[in-house]
Amino acid sequence: MLSKRIIPCLDVRNGRVVKGVNFQNVADVDDPVKLARFYSEQGADELVFYDITASNEGRNIFLDVVEKVAKEISIPFTVGGGIREVEDFHKALAAGADKVSVNSAAVKNPQLIKEASLKYGKQCVVLSIDCKKSRQGNWTVFLNGGRIDTGKDAIAWAKEGEALGAGEIVLNSMDADGVKTGFHIPITKAIAEAVQVPVVASGGAGTKEHFLEVLTTGKADAALAASVFHFGEILIPDLKEYLYNNEIAIRRVKHG
């Protein structure tokens, strides 16, 4: 059985880690290089770095920050934000990323997933999906940091992304983002059951129990969080010990 993963997320704006609630009221947190080093030492399984305004501002990702972070950590590193073409994959991987996450550009040009997967391998291609529940009761895909509702069904898009060559899906429930009331279990479970590739749940972590729920009932392969880790509300070694004691296959943190 594959170990479940715990993944801190660095949302970066203007070279600083920030965090908001429901994609609004974004506040400054810390220096990304310092925080990345801390998480690597704490026993995080991976690290995700999102340049959260790159797509909306129509610019490329902060590669200099990516390079600095990559030098400080010894765990797999996913980078996203402002990835619009295959050349952007090359730049991010050359700067030290192990995986590259696409969101808005992939919806606009699904062939980007296929081209990148063929060139760099599906293990390098992560499809990030920002979704929200519609009035009709289904989940639809949003673009540009949650600013544009595409009307596209999130489950159908996850299946299409997998077919095109995405090796992993990060599912961010915008309704749950930053509110700490728990991951959105129904949509996470639905997508995990619809695809064969790993699904990373994102949005809503507030307690250790929330992580346990999404990794069991929600059928997620990994759980991603920001606020609870950034503000020291949950320490990764403690979380992993809790999950291990609840019979979750997890890579435990070696002490001493």
Among candidate residues 45, 51, 88, 130, the one labeled active-site is: 130
Q: Is 256 among the domain residues?
A: no
Could you tell me the CATH number of the domain that includes residue 119?
3.20.20.70
pTM above 0.85, yes or no: yes
Tell me, yes or no, if 51 is annotated catalytic.
Answer: no
Cα–Cα distance for residue pair 213/179, rounded to 1 Å = 16
Does residue 15 belong to any structural domain of this protein? Answer: yes
Specify the pLDDT at position 206. Answer: 94
Residue 204 within any structural domain of the chain: yes
Gyration radius of the chain over CA positions: 17
Classify residue 159: in a domain, yes or no.
yes
> Among 11, 45, 51, 88, which one carries the catalytic annotation?
11
- The tally of domains found in the chain comes to 1
Tell which residue, 100, 81, 9, has the closest CA to residue 48. Answer: 9
Which runs of consecutive H residues, i.e. helices, occur in the chain? 32-42, 54-57, 63-72, 86-94, 104-108, 111-120, 154-164, 185-194, 208-216, 227-230, 236-245
pLDDT at position 253 is 82
Our answer to whether residue 11 is catalytic in this structure is yes
pLDDT of residue 237: 97
Expressed as residue numbers, the domain containing 125 is 5-245
In a domain, 45, yes or no: yes
- Whether residue 250 lies inside any domain: the answer is no
Q: Is 122 inside a domain boundary?
A: yes
254 within domain boundaries: no
Q: Which residues of the chain have pLDDT under 50?
A: 23, 256
